Amino acid sequence: MTRIDTLCHIIDGNRILLKRAVRGISKGRWNAPGGKVEMDETPEESAVRETFEETGLGVKVLFYHGLLNFRTFGLDDIFISCHLFSTREFVGSPHDSEEGEVRWFNTDNLPWDEMWPDDRYWMQLMLDRKRFDADFWMDEDNRSITRHQITIR
């Protein structure tokens, strides 16, 4: 069964807001706010809710980049399909939550070694406001990409 998630990158000039997860599959990694789409919501509604819950920021005018599909733990079945959004419009001041610490990073100095390995393949496309879909196959430990495919739309 495929899990449907969202990610919403908040961009402010040459900075991007990331959260270091304290639990789940992303524990210890810097990532965008996001999470599981609930049964009664759209992916966009999920991205808005998750971003507020994890950062305290209200986000507006989401840009939909596309779908990231992840085949994890060395398997061929899609484990997570993630709707990728970004925004440059938000209200409030970011703060840590029970989901983890949040911090602004310069886009030229991202903590790549503490992020998901797939981020290196698509982050610049996202920052350039491109629309794309991507498929990633991870090894058994989810530490490296064994194969990937990106389709720009």
Question: For residue 125, what is the domain's CATH number?
Answer: 3.90.79.10
Chain-centre distance for alpha carbon 123: 10
pLDDT value of position 52: 98
pTM score, whole prediction: 0.94
Average pLDDT over the chain, rounded to an integer: 95
Structural domains counted in the chain? 1
51-78 pLDDT, tens digit each:
999 999 999 899 999 999 999 888 888 8
Domain with 144 in it: 3-152
